[in-house]
Amino acid sequence: MSTQQFAETPKTVGSRDDTGHIEFSIRDWGDYHDVYEWLLPTKNRKQNPLRVVETIHDHLKTTWDTQETVTKKQIGIQKKGQSVTHRLMRMFRLTEFDVETRPFRYRVPDYQHYEARTVPVDADDRAEWWDEWRYIPTIDTEWVAHHWGINQNNTRKWLARSDYPRIGKQWARNRRRFARTMHTARVWTGDGVASLIEPMPVRKTNVYDWIQQYVTDSEWKPPQRPKDLPWHTYARGFDE
């Protein structure tokens, strides 16, 4: 794909400070181009997210169904770019189990007693929990409802009463952004979509449908790797 086929990033993207200087973060870039920046191998990443995904997948694939918890060290995740790795772990539905001890422990999603051992999120903590999880492309209404200790209908009602988008709109947004992210990764790396998503907990047929809808049948274009654009400033870093 030639550079003329990439979407441009306006110089106005970012946050302007009191002096008029625009601070640009990778999150600003991702939001503008409608991609999950934490899933893309941008050049300043401390770890390649696609390789971290493979590491998590490979570990979980060999985890016994009697193992309830796991640590990042056991998975093989380095202590770099923690904000990114947290979101990658959430994509595999790895929820926090114990954050009071060192190292932190996370619940194994395929643990045989996972459902029975779930401690529902307190009603007062749902908004904070939702802020952390609602952009993750692999969660659904049933999974959210289970972790809140309520049924799916009440989950929808909770969101309807809040300032958040309705759950259907959120899921559609997640599918769109994931499809565009995978297409961007394909353009950057030359790898096929099938190989990119093979270690991810998603259905290939669904992703192909989403790419058709949100990439092929749209006017959206993938962005260049942000480091290739000379005007960018990285005052807030890549692993914010």
* pLDDT tens column, 98-113: 767 777 899 999 999 9
**Low-confidence residues in the chain, pLDDT < 50:** 1-4, 230-240
Q: What is the identity of the amino acid at 239?
A: D
Cβ pair 128, 139 in contact under 8 A: no
- The domain segmentation of the chain, as residue ranges, is 23-61+122-228
Per-residue confidence (pLDDT) for residue 99, from 0 to 100:
65
Per-residue confidence (pLDDT) for residue 239, from 0 to 100:
39
Per-residue confidence (pLDDT) for residue 228, from 0 to 100:
52
Per DSSP (E only), the strands in the chain are: 15-16, 22-23, 69-70, 96-98, 105-107
Average pLDDT, the chain: 88
Which letter does DSSP use for residue 161 in this model? H
Per-residue confidence (pLDDT) for residue 232, from 0 to 100:
47
Nearest to 109 by CA among 140, 150, 69, 49: 69
Ramachandran angles phi, psi of 152, nearest 5°: -65, -35
Q: How many other C-beta atoms lie within 10 A of the C-beta of residue 47?
A: 18
Q: What is the identity of the amino acid at 159?
A: L
Ramachandran angles phi, psi of 6, nearest 5°: -85, 150
Cβ pair 154, 164 in contact under 8 A: no
Q: How many other C-beta atoms lie within 10 A of the C-beta of residue 95?
A: 18
The sign one gets for the Cα dihedral 100, 105, 109, 115 is: negative
Per-residue confidence (pLDDT) for residue 227, from 0 to 100:
67
Q: Which two tokens stand for residue 198?
A: 């093979």
Q: Which two tokens stand for residue 228?
A: 């290739």
Which residue(s) pair with 106 in the sheet?
A: 70, 96
Residue 126 to residue 105: CA distance in whole angstroms? 21
